[in-house]
Structure 1
């Protein structure tokens, strides 16, 4: 085995031994590449180094190494100033952390040199853009107010209010409107361009093209109780990042009014001192990107302190559903019966991830932690033979883990909680377009929308997961949500088995939700408790070849006594009362969620799921 050691206090001029470790992941990667190029001269074993081979002699395809390579990431914070990139040439390497302490791979930038003015800390940070700040080990929130002050109406270019308060917000271009519930499953973010007085009124002009796109995108008619007509964005539910909002301790604002001389403002919590309290701003958008590599493993590593800056742009964040958002282009009108319709993007983009694997083969991510991240935490696209096990996803602004177009993926014994903190449509775990993907024995709790999402695919298995406290913010989703065709028969279709789904919170939800033309799906042996609705069987496009078998409910699924064509209900049971439910559910509950060898991941989580 070839071994390299990397320490935050190391030296890249050293040999990378345990006694003289390197300082950066990049230097370790480059030394390993040299090893592949010239196996006869092993730079890892040669402390004296020496000149590299002529690049012209490097083969187009790197040969296999004669032994595994392990890079030991020693405890401490390994700060990245650029994305750590791995390609096919970097195959066959294990990056191992957590030996005697936490190993953090961070995209954060320490903030120092604070001035104190009127109880607020100020630091000039150059051209830094960020949406996340951690002070004294705790997350700081973006300063905000609830809604647009005064009596306000929407106009062709923004809003008008009879309140003068917006004139004191600070630099208008820094301010962002949050529009929750444009659709029940949607939360958009739009920037402000200008704030001007018009007599006693205040005119708020919104950034283009985002506002114009929003007017075109968000239109619907739902002609039944609880519905109505909606055309374009309504009033904001929250307004963020104005210097005039900085009243609550533990909040911050980034002031970009002077190009290249941005100022970070922070109102401290009691006991915090600008000279002694560490402050770290999330700076990088992508921490790690692995493209086309094979046999790559990350073990015991914490990935932290990354951001995502798309909402800051003139295009804004025109959220539609899940992790999808609109970026211009055609808009379609979708009808779903009884005169109801909604306009949707013909195509959408997906919130990116801070740790990315593309077309990678035989990848393992085990015992890792993903936290303080500004987008989706981890994403696999393409590739095959992937294992994500025993990892924790928490305090993430986007989703936990997304898999698209991959084969033979296992996601097992992971803890996912408190994600979607900024992008509320984000699911805990999601797979789509894949084949032979298995999601088993995970715990997913305290998420703003769906817990587990399965898009179209083949041979997907969702087995013995514990999912609770979902749909805490947005509506029209499920603890487990599945849509689209899942195969060509029940032999290669989707199986949803042995899961416990409880406490699906927001009204207008379905704990087990088969939706939008789901086909070749078997839903069996699951337990559902305390949901606004347990399941729905009549959707548009209709369900086909969907079987519900032997599930236990504390309330009857909508329409289960008269299922539509394409749906079969066999042996499902509605419990008579709580005692009956507990007795019947005990066997399934005992096997769902984290297995015994991974129960330690819940350490520090009280029974309601949230970390202390």
Structure 2
């Protein structure tokens, strides 16, 4: 009788197709282990390889459970079409119940010795190698790259000094013209070419490497190196600009400032008297991307889920090589021959993927972008994540910004909901929460987006002439979002911002926007809570709790009932646990 029962159970298992596969990962594990709960792997890459070794098509769900602890990465964990799940049996990488696994692209800096002291700060140094990095974190908090004038405000990153830019002749070299007292720190400075002049002009940020310096009376003229791709506007655009100087040991004179001498291989940090860096966790990022999901147009990656994980400490060194010119949403102006280097990388990066789910993760301390969909990521969910303390943008959908992109280049049916996105643009200050270029059927609902030096989100990108031309961007749904305290530094932006083109079928409705106002360092260009810019047309904007305006040739949109005093709309906006835009009727 027992034998018959056993046979019946086995027959049932075989007929249903299977028993779920599960692997476990722990920092205390060993990649020589079988990946069981009692004998886990120690790396995500090893678990991926184990999943890859299961024969396809999958006959059961596959789950990889990551347990508590810090997983330090020295290169991206790559997922290709070989790692796909299926519609019936997805592959899920998730945190163990109650666990907080952290995937870090950083390394610890230790061996600190006292180097010097001033009235306000004790300077310490430690060997950190000659590989360049652009961020330092002290006990999990972003430190300030040594600069002058010293930063005093954590929202605008000010104060700044005034600057203008002048061109010697048509097609000639450009120079910054600054007051003598503000250019004085550069005069006689050894290795001045390592200093970055960080220039803010309306919605632009430029990072310029110092070249020739000429003092003349009450001004100093700074001629930046590597001017290709820089100063792409007329002189009047740069009148009334602001700047600061960054990256010299001479500037290190305040607590929590740092300087990396890449030639000598030392990191210097300033701490208050009495603080000991050997008792602190000091981390520098060394990896650009932690999770790389890379299919092809012919073989996309399919049915992967990443849930409950923390991704932290990534780098991006390109801006320091030849300087960089960023237009709105921290998009580099291309330099001929270097176009492929001009897409700021994501801590999570995906291209050519289907049914990718990023759920309940934390993305922080990214050196460029938090989540980056390069191109052709369809039917993806970005749900319930917290994205904060990001150098550039929180997330970017289709970073190439092609007009009328072909199907193999365009992302379709991406849903972004219930995410908190805050404190982006920490280094590249015209970054923002969400940049969605020329996408279709995008859903952005019930997100909380706040504390941005530039705009909360941008839909669409630069259109061709004439204004209102089709750019392949449309049928997008922007609803129930809570967006506030944006455009705190730059101008020509808004809480929700569209950049041109015929965006047929796009709806912006029932969003709660407030505290979108001109900051002390902004120019005179427009700032509006909902800003339809540069020939935007075909958009329905209704029932939002803030003003909406068409600017710069935008026309053919429908704007109605957009005003502050609508508490019922405000109450519905923002995070909404349990909500899903994938459920019919919501």
Shorter-chain TM-score range: 0.7 to 0.9
Q: Does 1:190 align with 2:208?
A: yes
How far apart, CA to CA, are the structure 2 residues paired with 1:366 and 1:153?
45
How far apart, CA to CA, are the structure 1 residues paired with 2:273 and 2:420?
32
* Contact 1:308 1:375 (8 Å CA) reproduced: yes
Change (3 A) 1:200 1:444: closer
Partner of 1:73: 66
Partner deviation per Cα, 1:567-612 (whole Å, 9 max, x = no partner): xxxxxxxxxxxxxx2xxx12111111111458xxxxxxxxxxxxxx
Partner of 2:15: none
* Contact 2:365 2:389 (8 Å CA) reproduced: yes
Secondary structure of the residue aligned to 2:454 is coil
Partner of 2:153: none
TM-score by length of 2: 0.79
* Contact 1:177 1:236 (8 Å CA) reproduced: no
Partner of 1:553: 563
Q: Does 1:539 align with 2:555?
A: no
Partner of 2:303: 295
Partner of 2:326: 319
Change (3 A) 1:106 1:474: same
Change (3 A) 1:171 1:200: farther
Question: Which ranges of structure 1 fall in alignment gaps of 5 or more residues?
Answer: 37-62, 221-228, 331-345, 529-533, 555-580, 599-612
1:513 to 528, 531, 534: 531
Q: Does 1:308 align with 2:316?
A: yes
1:383 to 373, 377, 384: 377
Matches within 5 A, 1:159-238: 162=180, 164-167=184-187, 169-181=189-201, 184-193=202-211, 204-208=222-226, 211=227, 213-215=229-231, 217-219=232-234, 229-230=236-237, 237-238=243-244
- Give the CA deviation at 1:88: 0.4
How far apart, CA to CA, are the structure 2 residues paired with 1:152 and 1:180?
10
Matches within 5 A, 1:134-533: 134-146=137-149, 156=173, 158=175, 162=180, 164-167=184-187, 169-181=189-201, 184-193=202-211, 204-208=222-226, 211=227, 213-215=229-231, 217-219=232-234, 229-230=236-237, 237-256=243-262, 258=263, 261-269=264-272, 271-292=274-295, 293-314=301-322, 316-329=323-336, 349-380=342-373, 381-404=375-398, 405-455=410-460, 457-488=473-504, 493-506=505-518, 508-528=526-546
Q: Does 1:96 align with 2:94?
A: yes
* Contact 2:66 2:95 (8 Å CA) reproduced: yes
Partner deviation per Cα, 1:23-57 (whole Å, 9 max, x = no partner): 11111122222223xxxxxxxxxxxxxxxxxxxxx
What is the aligned residue count? 498
How far apart, CA to CA, are the structure 1 residues paired with 2:481 and 2:359?
18
* Contact 1:369 1:393 (8 Å CA) reproduced: yes
How far apart, CA to CA, are the structure 2 residues paired with 1:87 and 1:319?
31
Secondary structure of the residue aligned to 2:499 is strand
How far apart, CA to CA, are the structure 2 residues paired with 1:325 and 1:25?
32
* Contact 2:165 2:239 (8 Å CA) reproduced: no
How far apart, CA to CA, are the structure 2 residues paired with 1:201 and 1:412?
51
Change (3 A) 1:586 1:204: closer
How far apart, CA to CA, are the structure 1 residues paired with 2:191 and 2:428?
24
TM-score by length of 1: 0.76
- Give the CA deviation at 1:149: 8.7
- Give the CA deviation at 1:303: 0.8
* Contact 1:107 1:304 (8 Å CA) reproduced: yes
How far apart, CA to CA, are the structure 1 residues paired with 2:163 and 2:494?
36
How far apart, CA to CA, are the structure 2 residues paired with 1:516 and 1:326?
18
How far apart, CA to CA, are the structure 2 residues paired with 1:151 and 1:468?
30
How far apart, CA to CA, are the structure 2 residues paired with 1:372 and 1:133?
9
2:30 to 2, 11, 14: 11
* Contact 2:33 2:40 (8 Å CA) reproduced: yes
- Give the CA deviation at 1:430: 2.4
Secondary structure of the residue aligned to 2:277 is coil
How far apart, CA to CA, are the structure 1 residues paired with 2:162 and 2:481?
46
Secondary structure of the residue aligned to 1:214 is coil
Secondary structure of the residue aligned to 1:31 is helix
* Contact 1:7 1:24 (8 Å CA) reproduced: yes
* Contact 2:200 2:241 (8 Å CA) reproduced: no
| Mean CA deviation greater in 148-157 or 297-306 | 148-157
Partner of 2:10: none
How far apart, CA to CA, are the structure 1 residues paired with 2:78 and 2:26?
19
Partner of 2:4: none
- Give the CA deviation at 1:101: 3.1
